[in-house]
Amino acid sequence: AAAAALGRLGGAASVAVPRLRALLAHDELWLRVDAAIALWEISGRTGESVPVLLAAWERNRHVRVRVADCLARMGLSGAGADAAQVVRAELLSVRRHNAMDGGYGSHDTYEDEKLLALCRRALGTDRGKGTTS
């Protein structure tokens, strides 16, 4: 929550950048994701954040909506070819990210539709505020 609050402050929170960078290697996946997003929101640079976000995407399917939201705001021109490939693969996947054998809930449909919409938005935008450095 603190990392997300720092991210919302944007450049005014630049003093927190060294600590956020340190959190990119934290054991807790969600904290790494929050730190990566906040780091991008503060600095506007994608180089450190995107690899952490994409690794989390592959490791934990439940983080995908949060990561896709960030990638959509970044714009894939800033996020890079690896991010574009991951987003395209998600859109082409027949088995949904939150599918579980033996059960589902209406919230699963909502989350999946949200993920797909964010992926489409990420692919359709070329005006993100991110830079590749």
Q: Is residue 79 part of a domain?
A: yes
> Which tens digits make up the pLDDT trace of 50-65?
999 999 999 999 999 9
Rounded to two decimals, what is the model's pTM? Answer: 0.83
Q: How far is CA 108 from the centre of its chain?
A: 19
Q: Is residue 129 part of a domain?
A: no
pLDDT at 122 (0 to 100): 93
What are the 10-residue block averages of pLDDT along the chain, 133 residues in total? 81 89 96 96 93 97 95 89 94 69 65 90 64 47
Q: Is residue 132 part of a domain?
A: no
For the chain, what is the domain count? 1
- Domain hosting residue 15, numbered range: 2-124
pLDDT at 97 (0 to 100): 60
Q: Are 25 and 50 in contact (CB under 8 A)?
A: no
* Closest to 132 measured CA to CA, from 54, 59, 67, 75: 75
pLDDT at 26 (0 to 100): 96
pLDDT at 10 (0 to 100): 84
